[in-house]
Structure 1
């Protein structure tokens, strides 16, 4: 079963080997102290062993940013889900707008990759989001979910990352009230699938984003299950600050709920 709370980061293609080593050296002691439950880092394939070693002794897990739509076989240059699973990879990002734009990935390709990941025991991190702030979010994210998740086996573990295209790479994330509304829509859409799902918010997320979302929500259904950092997570101190923020916000919400029920 997926953790109830998730704090992740995609390094995209920013890390050099030295950068990755520095990140691991800084972050490991704090993750070890925290325990690392729900912590994950999606990195390029060559960095998987480095972070598998760095996270040893914790519950933190390693992810990657793509996977082949094919299994083992004569697919030169491809990296199969089976091989990644053998290497200890737990998560794989799929459907990111950058790959759709630069590499012409289609819905059909994403669906095949999703199935390959699930069949290998790897959790797909499906990126969904509308292209423009003026778009009607529901039909767009519903199509993205149905296209990728339709036909998955019962009980499949899936992490949905809501990343509105118009917020990716911007100085600020989407407005908290907008995120709350779309996360609520996503929960309704996902309720129709027989799957173990969680929702995180990405799209220029940074320290403070999760707290702002939680503060804007009148209903817990609008609060995501965590956060997915990009650039702001490249600094291990920023990542660790977000980890502490999400832990604190969730503990505060739990304490408030307990007080209300009593």
Structure 2
């Protein structure tokens, strides 16, 4: 089972092998120093990296409790699919997560909802938790309506009891100077909990230009209006977390905000 508190990082395609190694060394060392009483001080952290970096991260951060995964997987199983990386192979290599449906892949590579759904089913069938990156394209759309349509395709063949992580990342907030407003996120997260109430093993995190202070602002906004259901289970960083010390600050921030769940 995934932890109740989650702090994730997608390195996209930024890291060289040497940079990834340095990042892992800093994060591992600092988490061990900051949480010396924890048997696995990285518990609750998760990391999605390009395929070639998976073994490095499994070796360096896996023993500390980080859950490792990739940023995609093949819609096909093992076979004559040149250039593809199957869920079966990734599971064997230690991948526990995979990102699916990210707007960058939809825009740049033309991925369809049907393809994302096939990938999600293949992931779940091989013990890999799909991280479904979901959200509306612009602020004028109804997030619940948009994501209801997305989940109809993406979760169609994923068993109800399977582990699933939903990363709420409104497309209009990705790559922007600021994340979506905290009050907006609170409302959407609460709506998502209702929408996915028939799935007992769902985790909800916020992404989309998230950084230092983002999660605290969301948690504070939810508690101010008495809406605990609107507090996500964590946060999913992109470019902000490429700095290992910035990532570590967010780990501390989320763990402090959700201390009652640890």
Fold shared, TM-score > 0.5 on shorter chain: yes
TM bin (shorter chain): over 0.9
Structure 2: state its 5+ residue gaps. 36-40
Question: Match of 2:255, SS?
Answer: helix
Aligned match of 1:208 in 209, 213, 237?
213
- 8 Å Cα contact 1:31-1:60 kept in structure 2: no
| In 2: Cα distance, 1:137 partner to 1:77 partner | 35
Picking from 91, 104, 115, the partner of 1:98 is 104
Of the candidates 181, 203, 220, which is equivalent to residue 175 of structure 1? 181
Q: Name the residue aligned to 2:145.
A: 139
For residue 231 of structure 1, what is the aligned residue in structure 2?
A: 239
1 CA distance for matches of 2:233 and 2:72? 22
Q: Distance in 1 between matches of 2:154 and 2:32?
A: 34
Q: Is the 8 A contact 2:117 2:157 kept in 1?
A: no
Aligned-partner Cα distance in 2 for 1:16–1:85: 23
Q: Please report the RMSD computed on the Cα atoms of aligned residues, expressed in angstroms.
A: 1.3
Aligned to 1:110: 116
Q: How many residues align?
A: 253
2:10 is matched with 10
Classify the secondary structure of the residue corresponding to 1:82. Answer: helix
Counterparts in 2 of 1:74 and 1:122: CA distance versus 1, 3 Å: same
Distance in 2 (CA, whole Å) between partners of 1:20 and 1:239 is: 13
- Look up the SS of the partner of 1:156 in the other structure: coil
Please report the TM-score for the alignment, with normalisation by the length of structure 2. 0.94
Q: Which sits farther off after the overlay, 26-35 or 165-174?
A: 26-35
Task: Give secondary structure in 2 for the equivalent of 1:57.
Answer: helix
Distance change (3 Å), C-alpha of 1:195 and 1:146: farther
Report the counterpart of residue 38 of structure 2 in structure 1. Answer: none
Q: Which residue of 223, 236, 244 maps to 2:252?
A: 244
- Counterparts of 1:28 and 1:206, CA distance in 2: 20
